[in-house]
Amino acid sequence: MCRLSSITLLSVFLVVSSCDVSPSPESHGSRPEGSKRPNVLLIVVDDLGYADLGVFGSEIETPNLDRLANSGVLLTNFYVAPTCSPTRSMLLSGTDNHIAGLGNMAEDMAPNQEGQPGYEGYLNFRVAALPELFQESGYNTYMTGKWHLGLTEETEPAARGFDKSFALLQGGAGHFDNMLPIVGPDNAIYREDGEALEVLPKIFYSTRFYTERLIDYIDEGKENGRPFFGYLAYSAPHWPLQAPEESIAKYRGKYDAGYDVLLEQRLRRLKELGFVDSDLESYPRMLGENEWNELSVEDQRYQSKLMEIYAAMVDDIDVYVGKLVDHLKSIGEYDNTLIVFQSDNGPEAHNLEQGWSDLEAWVEECCNNSFENIGAPDSYVWYGPNWGQAGNTPLRMFKGYTGEGGVRAPAFFHFPKGILSNTKADGFATVKDFMPTLLEFAGIDHPGEGEFRGRDVVAMQGRSLAPILTGKGDVVRGPNDYMGWELFGKRAIRQDEWTIVYLPYHDVIDGIVPIVKTDEWQLYNLSDDPTQIHDLSESHPEKLAEMVELWDDYAERNNVILPDRLSGY
């Protein structure tokens, strides 16, 4: 048997229910009666791979994050949406992205989805947003980093519950002060406390600036004596890959052996640490991609530097999280701060120029991608499928897909005085569970399906993980519950250890993805086949039919509208 995360201190089953569930109105959370309300620090990183942190055996140096994870509860089976904004909509609403407004990404909305409920392209007002609830209960609420949940004054962070905010509104941008957009010609869009910014500070480097600005907010708010909810949404390591030269230099030569060697090293470490069984094989290479030793010396040199830049970006996240933790300790707030960390999806491992002609043209116009210049503010590169698969080993596929590699991500909880420590939670948990969990620890009630701030809102679907995190319970759901996904017509359902995956045909995907039949459901048992290599649809037709029925139920409950035009992504 090849079970992921087979060696754990805590094994639980945490599948998202098909029913809407909100915290009990009688609950005052996991905070002891009369105790000080905790601060909550929610850290989200952008496109981090499953095996990118040192706690999972990565060679990238992440000692601060590893220390937090090892002294808290590490979620080894944590699930998100396939891409950024759908995940963030679930994180801040506690419900499915097709209900919360990001049934599809705003950038890729199909004609038949436009104007439909759940497809507004922003975090809609049928949900009570997490920061709104913290604000309503008297918390100071702060946000720095990537928003990606609305571009207008009515839908930006300042309008959705944040007292103070410095936000990149779009899905990505360059990481320095030149406001390099994800696609030009207009500058990337930043707003501070509701005001549009025409320029960025000259000292701007996204990871450093977002951290330091959040520290400023925390210090400014200390005078009123209220606890804080801080949302630190790094835009790293999202492409374009950029980092300070001194950060990149730390990894110079580190990846000269290539992506095939890195994949084997990462997989071996995962096995040694007990995250995967010793006989597990990684998902195979994308079709048409070259082995490392088939590349020219010049191509190898260029490819190595791409990974050096990526590693530098991840390392910098760790450095600045460490600075933030040190600051919390210096002001006496560390022990009373619940810290939550997650990636929003799997790593970006597409050949992005395929299927996105506007991007290819923009990169040619905007930037200098010579070997000497990549990583600089006027460069624009990504690291592609081979490094991405190494970073995500052993999982199937990566960001944008509903296979395990797209929707499974690293995450942990850390709270010195409130939860277990040195614990691995092996059960199925999802991003929808984080909102009810945080509300419970803060002693905040969700309105459920009712009225909030003068509007009707839906109930949460997620369930609080507090019993698991505190050791007061080991199960929050049963084996009949399930989780569903859909994005760009790509679909999946998981129930217990069974999962089905559907990949629609289109010109870019066909002929690239191995071991996949397009336009057909494929069936896998994750207890025996966690990398989703062995399709059981023909040998288990009754189980397949049962799972497809669950998909139909999921689609109906969540108003899934399959796109009539497939994204090039």
- pLDDT tens for 173-231 read 999 999 999 999 999 999 999 999 999 999 999 999 999 999 999 999 999 999 999 99
Q: Is the peptide bond before 436 cis (omega within 30 degrees of 0)?
A: no
pLDDT in tens, 491-501: 999 999 999 99
pLDDT in tens, 313-332: 999 999 999 999 999 999 99
- Do 194 and 156 meet the contact criterion of CB atoms below 8 Å apart? yes
Question: Which pLDDT score is estimated for 307?
Answer: 98
Question: Which pLDDT score is estimated for 420?
Answer: 96
- Do 361 and 185 meet the contact criterion of CB atoms below 8 Å apart? no
Active site residues: 84, 148
| CA count, 13 A, side-chain hemisphere, 215 | 19
Question: What is the percent of the chain with per-residue pLDDT over 90, rounded to a whole number?
Answer: 87
The predicted model gives 99-108 an average pLDDT of 97
Is the pLDDT assigned to residue 10 strictly greater than 60? no
pLDDT in tens, 249-258: 999 999 999 9
Angle at 310 (CA atoms; ends 49, 509), nearest 5 degrees? 55
Q: Where are the domains of the chain?
A: 39-557
Question: Which pLDDT score is estimated for 391?
Answer: 93
Is the pLDDT assigned to residue 266 strictly greater than 80? yes
Question: Domain 39-557, what fold?
Answer: Alkaline Phosphatase, subunit A (3.40.720)
Alpha-helix runs per DSSP H in 331-398 = 357-366, 384-392
pLDDT in tens, 111-163: 999 999 999 999 999 999 999 999 999 999 999 999 999 999 999 999 999 99
Place of tokens 């949940």: 149
